[in-house]
Amino acid sequence: MENKILSVENLSYRIGSHWILRDVSFSISRKEFVGIIGPNGAGKTTLIKAIVGDLEGYSGKIVV
């Protein structure tokens, strides 16, 4: 049985020439506790929007 509940591979998103996310990769397994931290404008909300399906136009792979 696969233990991963979320896998993000090479996720990238940009607006014009400004990169919001570039080549983000990680996975989360069952029973892991994960936090997303960073300064304002680091792409935290954009990452969450991509994961939940509220963002179009990104490249990479997201498997939930």
Q: What is the mean pLDDT of residues 31-60?
A: 97
- Domain boundaries 4-63, corresponding CATH code: 3.40.50.300
* In the predicted structure, residue 2 carries a pLDDT above the cut 80: no
| Mean pLDDT (the chain, rounded) | 96
Q: What is the mean pLDDT of residues 27-44?
A: 96
Q: How many residues does the chain have?
A: 64
* In the predicted structure, residue 29 carries a pLDDT above the cut 90: yes
Cα→Cα distances 1→11, 18, 29, Å: 25, 40, 12
* In the predicted structure, residue 37 carries a pLDDT above the cut 90: yes
Q: For residue 46, how many other CB atoms are within 10 A of its CB?
A: 19
Q: Which two tokens stand for residue 8?
A: 């993000």
